[in-house]
Structure 1
Amino acid sequence: MNTSISKTINTILKTTTKSLFVMLAMAASFNVTAANADETLKTVQKQWAKCQYDTFNKENKISCLNSLIAMNQEELDSDPSRDDLKVWLAINKSTLAGAEGGLGALSLVKEAKGLLEEVISSDSQVLEGSAYTSLGSLYYQVPGWPIGFGDDDEAELMLQKALAINPNGIDPNFFYGDFLANNGDTAQAIAFLKKAQKAAPREGRELADQGRQREIERKLKELE
């Protein structure tokens, strides 16, 4: 083989091999980053379930949620593009508002509303439309004007959008059923609550599923 051709081939092979190693290293780095991101989300979700369903004293629940919000905020500050963590920061703030109660909780739900609106503008499909579910639940649970931003029409719109994305999910069906019950549509409320009751278990979210199923059962007993 011609020496110059041989050198050219060797150079190409070395360059290709080097590029392949770089690509493999980048892929490995991406996989590690993705795995870390997934673990962060799971940690936030599991800790929320612990605060909500496994912490019964009011002061302890508030303390648990405050610690979780601080951790959630820190993780989001390190990567502001994480729409999934924005959804969960909104959920955590809303849950804290419910635990604290009173007019002071309004600032928390307003912050939650802003976060959820940001996510919907950025990626409404994230976490199977959970931003719509959470925002819808706020709209029907928060007082209306002049105290808060509550609005049943907006609540129904948001919850129906959530169901369009995740029609069999436990949360969108539960909250839509609860919304319908609050508005006197008992038959439809029962239908959606029973659908929520049959939702598939969520991997790694056993405590959250158990807690939600208890809420569904209590609501059905009130209606049937």
Structure 2
Amino acid sequence: MCWWLWRRWCRCWVLGWLRLLQGGASADRSVTRASADGWKVTATKSGERVVRVHPLNNAPWTTKEAFLSLRGSGGCRCGTSPVMAGSVSTGFQVGCGAHFDSLTAAVSAGPTAQMSISYPPAVVIGGQVMGTVSANLRPGTIEVVDFGTKSFVNGAAGISLDGVSLRVTGCVGTVAVRSFTRVSIGTAGNDTTVHVYGKAREL
């Protein structure tokens, strides 16, 4: 009986680590909406992968690491009023679910978690350090990490990310990420913005 329980425990432990390390692709998704002046505006997120890895500091209970890949694209068609401006933005929302106030004194953790993303060009979110994005990720909140904005050329544009390193430290509990792509156009009479989101993934 004890041997059977030991084998079962080992199997669950190995499968859990494999699920943690394998990451995986997320389905491509597009959203199309009509603007007030007749334009069909499309936002697409594709090629999304969130590959979870064991943190280099060997502290998986307070540090989460992953490599992110994503393409955000979009465009507009079939309208009549001239488009004066159009752009595509893409990135990830990152959330830390633990509330540090509820932890016991035995847990060594500060009031905020630290997030670092290595992606040039760096985006300033709370601070900029040597080409990486750094932010204070408050427990119970969501930080929007925008990797950039590309203006339309001939009615379309896109941004691709491959193997961007994400590290969240000091968050005891669940860390979740969710991709997004935002497409905006402006005409003389209307501004229109369309979003598409990926599935939330836990690190």
Q: TM-score range by the shorter chain?
A: under 0.3
Higher relative contact order (CA 8 A, sep 6+): 2
| Structure of higher CA gyration radius | 1
Q: Which has the higher helix share?
A: 1
TM-score normalised by length of structure 2: 0.27
Q: Which has the higher strand share?
A: 2
